Amino acid sequence: MTVRRRIHEPPEASGGRLVEPPIVPSPGTGSIEALVDNNKLLRAALDVRIGDMRLWELVAATRREVLMVAAEYTGSYRNVFRPSDTADWIARPLIMGGHQPELFHPGVWLKNSVLDAYARRVGGTAVNLVVDSDRCGRASVGVPVGTPEAAHYEHLEFDAPAAEQAWEERGVMDRECLASFGTRAADLLVPLVPDAIVRRWWPLVVDRAAASHRLGLGIAQARHMLEERFGLETLELPVAELVRLPTVMVFVGWLLAHARPLHEAYNAALADHRRARRVRGRGRPMPDLAVLHDGGEEWLELPWWLWSKDDPRRRRVFASSTLPGGMTLSDLETVRVELPIASDTSPSKWIDALSRMEEHGVRLRPRALITTLIARLLVADVFVHGIGGAAYDSITDAIVRRLIGSDPPRHAVVSGTLRLPLERVFPGIESADPVAERAAVTRTLRDIAYHPERHLEASSLPDGIQELVASKWRWIETVPTPALARRRCREIRAANQTLAGHARSKTAELEARIAPLEAAERARKVLWSRTHPWCFFPEKMLREFLLLENA
């Protein structure tokens, strides 16, 4: 059964927050406590056997590993509080979210603050996944410059270009470029935001990138250290570390051993989603998993990425089950790995095989839907999504129902909107609406074309114009019979053209406004965007937006 969910929209007003369930419940709203309790009941019903364990047993073991490794990872660069009673710590609620290690906007960063607030509310622990398995594109951002009349983006690199690869593999290519970015970006922002936090915060990115030898981890760890100064007590864990945990390898091995049911469930869930949302096109929101034939073998595409240290381009994964007692994974290009993974082989063999892949520099990383499936089924009492993840996780839900036969734990949804503080620099920019102004101008020009008499001053009209107006309306009121229809149309059109000629000055004045208004529209899209990196904002504004007590 497909569960229909409403489509969430980001708040329009600057400072607006979408938090479902709310941190502090009110009459008629849900609560994080109720969601945690409901999810525990849902997880208790997931009684499927994973290898030689029931799913609930694997969950308990995975939570222990996740908390221990996340605390160890986080403790390598900032202070971590570890409860003395480990059993109690593991039993307490675990709230989880995640995002790519990039310069995301404040609405994304709000999730991290809500993770912390949820965890405090239920007496649990918050863990943020650093999704370093995602693709690192250009190492640059657009810095807004200009005025409400004309603005554009200056694209600044924070590192030199590199071959396309996952954040997990992306090192620093140009240390000087990285080191100077904070100053370069802050200097460009001075006319708009003279106290942007990027100037003071960026040196921490440079330090952490040098220590971690990774660009993405440098950004993520520096942001997490700032969160510590803000009072947040979350843990963090890269996906690259998550998938190396033995318990997660058991679950991945089980999914691989059920490659065909997973392949079919994935495509069926996509079809359900497209049908429910009336989405056209088989490539949206993502393509179906393919079935290929190569050398007489059938290859099923699976929702993972595959690459090697020698060739770090992320490539699709295909599985063949023709190997006796195992399976073959390949990108059908350069990587081919035989694994003793099948439904009747031991989970210890799954762990050993996946571990050896890692040791030999071959990376098998889950795509987005499988990453959240692992987090929601194996780890989190509540997983916190942004708007995009919430829209697509109905697909994950359907995959779980088809594979396991039960509903998965529910998720929370958090997003927000924060716009640059430009009212002080450009008074009136918040209320300005060049789109509406241009639409009004366009409507007036159209009205002049079809009803020019409405825009003429009777006192300044030459003789005969009033009679022309009267003649036009006589033709308008004439019934368009077959004999008169063509003449009626010609007479009305000719009258309009003559009358519009007397409104040329007003028409020219309105037409002259269109180009500046179009420029103002483009400028507003730049200056008033909700997607500017959070580090382009003043610290005080960020603290207030993140709901911090010491703001």
Which residues are 146's β-sheet partners?
Answer: 151
**Domain-wise residue ranges, the chain:** 434-527
Of 96, 94, 85, 97, the closest CA to residue 122 belongs to 94
Identify the burial level of 84 via C-beta atoms within 10 angstroms of its C-beta, where 0-12 means exposed, 13-18 middle and 19 or more buried: exposed
**3-class secondary structure, 63:** helix
User: Is residue 168 within 8 Å of residue 214, measured between CB atoms?
Assistant: yes
304: number of Cβ within 10 Å: 23
Taking the C-alpha atoms of residue 88 and residue 168, their distance in angstroms, rounded to an integer, is 33
Element (H, E) at 502: none
CA distance 366 to 239: 9
Please tell me the distance from the alpha carbon of residue 414 to that of residue 260, in angstroms, as a whole number.
Answer: 34
The CA-atom distances, in angstroms, between 289 and each of 20, 44, 329, 342 are 32, 31, 15, 20
- Residue 407 CA to chain centroid, in angstroms? 24
* Per-residue pLDDT reduced to its tens digit, 172-220: 999 999 999 999 999 999 999 999 999 999 999 999 999 999 999 999 9
Rounded-to-integer distance, Cα 85 and Cα 90, Å: 9
The pLDDT assigned to 455 comes to 87
| CA-wise closest residue to 304 among 234, 217, 362, 367 | 367
How far apart are alpha carbons 506 and 455 in whole angstroms? 8
pLDDT lower than 50: segments of the chain? 1-3, 549-551
pTM assigned to the model? 0.91
Torsion region of 493: left, alpha or beta (phi above 0 gives left; psi -120 to 50 gives alpha): alpha
Q: pLDDT tens for residues 321-352? A: 999 999 999 999 999 999 999 999 999 999 99
Within 8 A by CB and 6+ apart from 466, the residues are 458
Rounded Cα distance between 99 and 142, Å, is: 20
Check residue 43 and give its pLDDT: 87
Would you say the C-alpha torsion 157, 162, 164, 169 has a positive or negative sign?
A: negative
- Say what the pLDDT of residue 5 is: 58
Q: Are 43 and 375 in contact (CB under 8 A)?
A: no
